[in-house]
Chain A
Amino acid sequence: MRRTFLIATFSDGDRLVKAVETVRSYNFSVYDVYSPYPVHGLDEAMGLRRTRLPWITLLVGAFGTTLALTFQFYTSVLDWPLNVGGKPDNSTLAWVPICFELTVLLGGLSIFFALLVRARLYPGKKEQLAAEGVTNDTFALVLRKKDSAFDMKYARELLEQSGADEVKVREAEL
């Protein structure tokens, strides 16, 4: 679906952060910001909440530990106990390494895939660039015209005053 956006481009990260702060202080909501590297201070400026993705690692990791522990217990104690080197069937200590590895493996993979799902990234997705060069040296601040109450002229003025190199209105899918 194509929507209308007001896109301001910058050539400097610090000016971008200032612009975001300004725009938000005038009660515009920032649709998104596009940058060639993660600009520090933007999280606060945009008022982003801390992502909850790490919780997935914790949960899936804990699941991995449990899985490894129960599986080793099942195979070595319940299903087919076998005396190897006089070690007890239930050698919990010897299972620690595999429990650890499975925790890390599942925890790591889960957050990777959770990120892809949450950020809607997938192989072959057609990129939607807010401006040319946002993956190189350009920073873009994007406001969305939600309804007629959006004061396009005022927003444009604000952005131009905060040092944008170019401000333009674009119909796009972002």
Chain B
Amino acid sequence: MSTTAMEFDPRIQEAQVLPPPHWVEGHPSLAQITDDIARPMEGRPGKGWWICFGIACLGLLDLVGMVTWLIAKGIGVWGLNNSVGWAFDITNFVFWIGIGHAGTLISAILLLFRQQWRTSINRSAEAMTIFAVMCAGLFPAIHMGRPWDAFFIFPYFPNQRGPLWVNFRSPLVWDVVAISTYFTISLVFWYLGMVPDLATLRDRAKGGIKKFIFRVLSLGWNGSHRTWARYEITSLVLAGLATPLVLSVHSIVSMDFATSLVPGWHTTIFPPYFVAGAIYSGFGMVLTLLIITRQTMHLERYITMQHLDKMAKVTMFTGMIVSYAYATEFFSAWYGGNLYERYHFINRATGPYAWCFYLMVLCNVITPQMLWPRKIRSSVAALFIVSILVNIGMWFERFVIIVVSLHRAFLPSGWGMFYPTKIDVGVLVGSFGLFFTCFLLFIRFLPMIAMWEIRGVAGHGAYKMALSSDDDEEQKQEEAVIA
């Protein structure tokens, strides 16, 4: 070890600098931030919101009707048959669970990685998680045919149906436990994150029912730093728990398939591949939702183009992981020399559902590649189209995995086709109705951007530096003069 005199270039002082990025546009004051975010909730919603809400309610109505019909008649009203016993229902289930994952990724994993860009979008992403998991949970329940017996899937004590227990070796039971845990922890995380903002809203409310509700929900929060200190550690611990949890949930969902022997299902890459796919689809949905809210609620200052750019990059990256997994599966089928596996992948690309496969490839492999040019990443319209394509592609991915595997498994005598009925499509559309109704109510009544976190970024981050950078320029000039 030695310290030697500079031998490269004395112009080191002139090195160019790269300041950290700003995540809030303009220089709003703390009160301004509160105002910008809280005001839309206090006034009357605009026309855009009402139109969206109306459509969403229609969807919800459709869901209620369809599910009532389904329960009244039994699941025969779906297009399921002996060959294809899982189709739209499980596809929708996996699709919605996947959507939820991006919310946890943004709120927990990006918190651990100290990515400040998460602050503007984490709240709505977490809300999205909650609603998506609600939609997801609906499908296994109605698929049971007798949803009133749904409690059978939980081990309960004393067991009144003899000492039989649920089969703990079954991935379906893991699923139940994983998803209820995921829902509970996400809800706790989301609510805890909102408490300081609910206190802000409580203090803004003039009185009446609004003040009462916010007072109940905000738990008497008064901004004490002793509480803040504990609060931050609690958030970190919850984030630390949610991170492996989110990996485990979709891994376990993938094991519903991968522990079986069905060609196209039994493959070891499923767990990480499903997780990547979930994040990919979730980011597609976050992009869709945030672009809509950004435009309808006028929050361009907080959900900036840089945010959209970052999300587009994550979408692109996870899209490529998904593409890698597709390639690995095809490669292994070719490499391995298992007749059934090989036939399955030939059937995927050339069989009766080949169009689904090509649609999936188009949306999940080719579409993310469109995001390379900065020009596309900085166009809201282009990103919106891409995000919709991602959603479509990921729905079809699950459809391909589930239906194409089942419809031609081992014995040709057991082959069959699946054709969705009106009820199948109706329930799928209805689940979007449920999701969007919840989301629109959320952005109307709860703080959809974490005000306290934005204050932290604005009060502490690079933003403040930018305000004082003029002073720095002067200082530098002074130093130059002295030198």
Contact = CB atoms under 8 A, between A and B. Distances in A.
Interface stretch (B10-18, B51-59, B322-330, B448-456): B448-456
Contacts of A119: 224, 226-227, 230-231
Nearest to B33: A137
B225 A32 contact: yes
Interface stretch (B170-178, B313-321, B351-359, B421-429): B170-178
B34 interface: yes
B257 to A, nearest CB: 15
A46 B230 CA distance: 14
B219 A79 contact: no
Contacts of A104: 181, 185, 241, 244-245, 248
A115 B245 contact: no
A80 B219 CA distance: 46
Given A34-B225, A40-B460, A105-B184, A87 B169 contact: yes
Contacts of B215: 124, 126-127
A135 B203 contact: yes
Interface in A19-71: 32-40, 42-43, 46, 48, 50-51, 53-54, 57, 71
Interface string A106-129: 011101100110111111111111
A91 B169 contact: yes
A172 to B, nearest CB: 11
B167 A82 contact: yes
A32 B455 CA distance: 20
Given A51-B229, A98-B173, A115-B231, A127 B202 contact: yes
Given A38-B231, A84-B170, A91-B169, A122 B200 contact: no
Interface stretch (B124-132, B232-240, B342-350): B232-240
A126 B107 CA distance: 29
B228 A35 contact: yes
Interface string B162-191: 011111111101100110110011001100
B252 interface: yes
A127 B218 contact: yes
B127 to A, nearest CB: 18
A137 B34 contact: yes
Contact of A84 (B169, B203, B217): B169
A46 B227 CA distance: 13
Contacts of A43: 229
B165 A76 contact: yes
A135 B167 contact: no
A162 interface: no
Which of A75, A95, A97, A121 has its CB near the most chain B CB atoms (within 10 A)?
A97
A112 B229 contact: no
B175 to A, nearest CB: 9
A111 B234 contact: yes
A72 interface: yes
Contact residues of B: prevailing secondary structure = helix
B366 to A, nearest CB: 35
A38 B221 contact: no
A137 B166 CA distance: 54
Interface string B85-102: 000000000000000000
Contact of B237 (A36, A37, A111): A111
A38 B185 contact: no
Interface in B437-473: 452-453, 455-456, 459-460
Contact of A101 (B155, B181, B220, B452): B181
A123 B217 CA distance: 6
Interface string B192-206: 100110011011100
B222 interface: yes
Contacts of A174: 222
A13 B177 contact: no
B31 interface: yes
B231 A112 contact: no
Contact of B178 (A32, A101, A108, A130): A101
B369 interface: no
A37 B459 contact: yes
B311 to A, nearest CB: 24
Given A107-B241, A130-B222, A135 B196 contact: yes
B229 A13 contact: no
Nearest to B32: A137
Nearest to B224: A32
Contacts of B460: 13, 39-40
A48 B221 contact: no
A108 B184 CA distance: 9
Contact of A36 (B171, B192, B255, B452): B452
Contact of A38 (B163, B199, B228, B252): B228
A142 B267 CA distance: 61
A164 interface: no
B155 A75 contact: yes
A76 B216 contact: no
Contact of A48 (B184, B185, B223, B226): B226
A98 B165 contact: no
A142 to B, nearest CB: 9
Contacts of B29: 137
Contacts of B234: 53, 111-112, 115
Contact of A51 (B204, B233, B252): B233
A105 to B, nearest CB: 4
Interface of A: 13, 32-40, 42-43, 46, 48, 50-51, 53-54, 57, 71-72, 75-76, 79-80, 82, 84-85, 87, 91, 94-95, 97-98, 100-102, 104-105, 107-109, 111-112, 115-116, 118-130, 133-137, 174
10 contacts: A33-B225, A54-B237, A71-B155, A76-B168, A82-B164, A101-B174, A105-B181, A119-B231, A122-B220, A127-B221
Given A32-B226, A48-B226, 5 more contacts: A36-B34, A72-B168, A98-B173, A121-B195, A127-B203
